[in-house]
Amino acid sequence: MSLVRAPRPYTTSNQCMHVRGKGGLRGALMKSSILKRSIMIDGHKTSVSLEDAFWSDLKEIAISQQATLSKLVSQIDETRQQGNLSSAIRLHVLEHIRSRGQGKEKTKSSVDSPFAAV
């Protein structure tokens, strides 16, 4: 009697996967560019997985605050309400970007918008 291995129901692959919907082929899921890096937080080393764009923005935020990346991540870690440090970092970067954008929009909307309060 020979053993035949059944195919695994789930495969993990970094290949693009096409998604079909009502309109036919809608697009492809892209290969993730998640980078795992080690960082020191309060004297201990931990690894954090983030997309390259989040790492770049996080570095820019640290520079703008005249802080090290480790110090900024430590602050995020201390104040996070999520169970996952990577998610907390993503939300911090998103909030930072949104707050910068809202400041610019308010200035512009008060001048250019026909709906601005008079």
The answer to whether residue 31 is domain-embedded is: no
pLDDT above 80 for 50: yes
**Stronger pLDDT, 86 or 8, i.e. the higher one:** 86
Residues 6+ apart with CB under 8 A from 101: none
Residue 109 burial (CB count, 10 A): 12
pLDDT above 70 for 7: no
**Across all residues in the chain, what is the average pLDDT?**
74
The answer to whether residue 34 is domain-embedded is: no
The answer to whether residue 63 is domain-embedded is: yes
Total number of domains in the chain: 1
The domain of 84 spans 52-112
Estimate the crossing angle of helix 52-64 against helix 69-79, to 10 degrees: 100
The answer to whether residue 61 is domain-embedded is: yes
The answer to whether residue 117 is domain-embedded is: no
pLDDT band at 113 (very low <50, low <70, confident <90, very high): very low
pLDDT above 80 for 37: yes
The answer to whether residue 82 is domain-embedded is: yes
